[in-house]
Structure 1
């Protein structure tokens, strides 16, 4: 276990839960009221059913003195603060009392022995690690002066874990629009901007899926209005923001000599600003359950796409491209900026050549050699079944 240090152990834990079918984030800032509190080593989310979601945190520590007992209390407190369903610690501490204490607190433990077996038998994902992703962003030397790209991604990640569904969605959409616009005008750094845009879109999918959890059994009209209100006011169904606005207008009406006129003007201006948000674009598409049910799977797909070593070889499903298109229309980003064209090919069982099926307006085809396609895990990890097909995108121009 001494060969795995800090970030690499976090990446191993991330890969493990990702193989189990969760949407997983590393190094998530925990913020409260715009103040930084701490960092979450690993945070993951899953849609178990139409009305069931799971949120969990993992505290990962690989030190000479991991202080596992102390970390159990720490992660328990974070679990309560974030209202997570599960809390886990991954520790190199071999003390049997650690497991007993963790059980008493209903905390799960990934032990040193388990992590060692995981290291040996879990194949490495063909994706950028968090450190590699951030290093890629930092290749744009002016990224900090140009809005601070890493900060924007960090704030979107934090919102997913720390805020309600719709406030987090609005934060992710801000990031998506920012990077979509940068992809259009920063041509030398378009690849980097597209990666960030895909990551922001993945976070938006998770946020929107979480926001829709409470209205899953409502009729279409109620779901539509919930999405409208959630996006316009950042509410999670409690109408607190709208109530605060109405209270402020009531104060204007009663507290000023010409209060009714001033309040009416304020209401008109506010209505104009709300109309400009175009929340109906999101509501029209995702108020339908057969569209909303794809949010979780699309989030995982976009997250993988953002972390591919070669972005131009990323293939997106029809569902993922549809979601990107809806998001682009919502924030006013050109669809042509995004990686949305794809070519579908069949996946063989072993290392063989396969022939691409290209669109009808393309005169050529070719063969692609795919290696190491049988990525089954040697140990039981409850991994998702591998898909039977793959989409390969045309290289970006």
Structure 2
């Protein structure tokens, strides 16, 4: 698909390439949903690792229109940023008025004006033919999933991006973990693997690693043993943790005993709970991600896998850096898929 992009889409791709060049993890067109309703979308989601303990999330609002209403966009973007709990806001507009920049400064919103956009469009950062744009990626996903899987992969992909706007906790980590498991099932035992399957795996793992990086950045002073316990609980029980899970277990056991008068029923519930926890096999993941050497490269690996997911000519996993291959391998082990099928 080589369809010409509309003005707004092109501007978003231009700024996306610009921020990627600055070292940000960038996602375009993330939909913000609340209780099943789509409220709006974020033109660009930026995530950066500015130090060992600091992570920054940025909402970028882009309007490439003749009448951009830049002042109004500052109000809107600033309000959305506060709703999302992000760290800063950028408004990219075709408006060149100095008053717009001053208003942005007054409200702690960075303004990138039309002159800046024009320079980007004329530079080598304006278009990157070595990678797919968002529209090309969605076209490939729809072509493959509609004909081969019979499921809505583009819808899953949009939900996956939208999850970046929610608080990055173990709940989001486990959602991406489950998502990776869904896509690795489509790697064939023999024959060539579809580029779309690889793209979906790369892009899901990239967001998973980003979320783990964010969670672990809050525990920078923890020992490796402390991180092991934290990760084990998080992978097993989500953001609420083991105490909440055990409270629910004990409540269910008490209700069962009260209804039946049988201690055996209560113990059966506790045993079933413990069996389910053991079945998760979270040790594989916790023992890998608690290592300091792994944690140091999570952000970089997330960016590399995101970049690999958008390559025009998709790279096989075995050509990726060793740290990316290690992450793919341990995720294959967790989902009980032969890592030789994943690392080809």
Q: TM-score, normalization: structure 1? A: 0.78
Instruction: Please state how far the C-alpha of 1:94 moved relative to its aligned partner.
Output: 2.5
Would you say 1:207 and 2:207 are equivalent positions?
no
CA–CA distance in structure 1, aligned partners of residues 145 and 290 of structure 2: 41
CA contact (8 A) 2:145 2:151 kept: no
Unaligned residue ranges in structure 1 (runs of 5+): 342-397
Q: Which runs of 4+ in 1 moved over 6 A?
A: 185-189
Unaligned residue ranges in structure 2 (runs of 5+): none
User: Greater CA deviation, 261-270 or 244-253?
Assistant: 244-253
What SS does structure 2 have at the residue aligned with 1:311? Answer: coil
Deviations 1:110-152 (A, max 9, x none): 1111111111124333211111111111222626963311122
CA–CA distance in structure 1, aligned partners of residues 79 and 147 of structure 2: 35
- The number of aligned residues is 337
User: Greater CA deviation, 312-321 or 184-193?
Assistant: 184-193
Instruction: Please state how far the C-alpha of 1:243 moved relative to its aligned partner.
Output: 6.2
Which residue of structure 2 aligns with residue 87 of structure 1? 89
Instruction: Please state how far the C-alpha of 1:88 moved relative to its aligned partner.
Output: 0.6
CA–CA distance in structure 2, aligned partners of residues 266 and 178 of structure 1: 29
| Match 1:324 to one of 324, 328, 332 | 328
Instruction: Please state how far the C-alpha of 1:25 moved relative to its aligned partner.
Output: 0.5
Which residue of structure 2 aligns with residue 305 of structure 1? 308
Query: Residues 236 and 295 of structure 1: is their aligned pair in 2 closer, same or farther, counting only changes over 3 Å?
Result: farther
CA contact (8 A) 2:28 2:134 kept: yes
| Match 2:163 to one of 138, 143, 159 | 159
Query: Residues 121 and 4 of structure 1: is their aligned pair in 2 closer, same or farther, counting only changes over 3 Å?
Result: farther
CA contact (8 A) 1:93 1:112 kept: yes
CA–CA distance in structure 2, aligned partners of residues 297 and 120 of structure 1: 29
Which residue of structure 2 aligns with residue 171 of structure 1? 175
Deviations 1:98-121 (A, max 9, x none): 222222211111111111111112
Q: TM-score, normalization: structure 2? A: 0.90
| Match 2:270 to one of 237, 256, 267 | 267
Which residue of structure 2 aligns with residue 284 of structure 1? 287
Query: Residues 216 and 94 of structure 1: is their aligned pair in 2 closer, same or farther, counting only changes over 3 Å?
Result: same
CA–CA distance in structure 2, aligned partners of residues 144 and 152 of structure 1: 15
Query: Residues 257 and 290 of structure 1: is their aligned pair in 2 closer, same or farther, counting only changes over 3 Å?
Result: same
CA–CA distance in structure 2, aligned partners of residues 141 and 166 of structure 1: 28
What SS does structure 2 have at the residue aligned with 1:49? Answer: coil
CA–CA distance in structure 2, aligned partners of residues 100 and 247 of structure 1: 58
Query: Residues 243 and 50 of structure 1: is their aligned pair in 2 closer, same or farther, counting only changes over 3 Å?
Result: farther
Instruction: Please state how far the C-alpha of 1:4 moved relative to its aligned partner.
Output: 7.1
CA contact (8 A) 1:173 1:331 kept: no
CA contact (8 A) 1:165 1:236 kept: no
Which residue of structure 2 aligns with residue 128 of structure 1? 132
CA contact (8 A) 1:31 1:38 kept: yes
CA contact (8 A) 1:211 1:236 kept: no
Which residue of structure 2 aligns with residue 372 of structure 1? none
CA–CA distance in structure 2, aligned partners of residues 74 and 144 of structure 1: 41
CA contact (8 A) 2:177 2:208 kept: yes
| Match 2:221 to one of 199, 210, 217 | 217
Instruction: Please state how far the C-alpha of 1:17 moved relative to its aligned partner.
Output: 0.8
What SS does structure 2 have at the residue aligned with 1:221? Answer: helix
CA–CA distance in structure 2, aligned partners of residues 163 and 186 of structure 1: 39
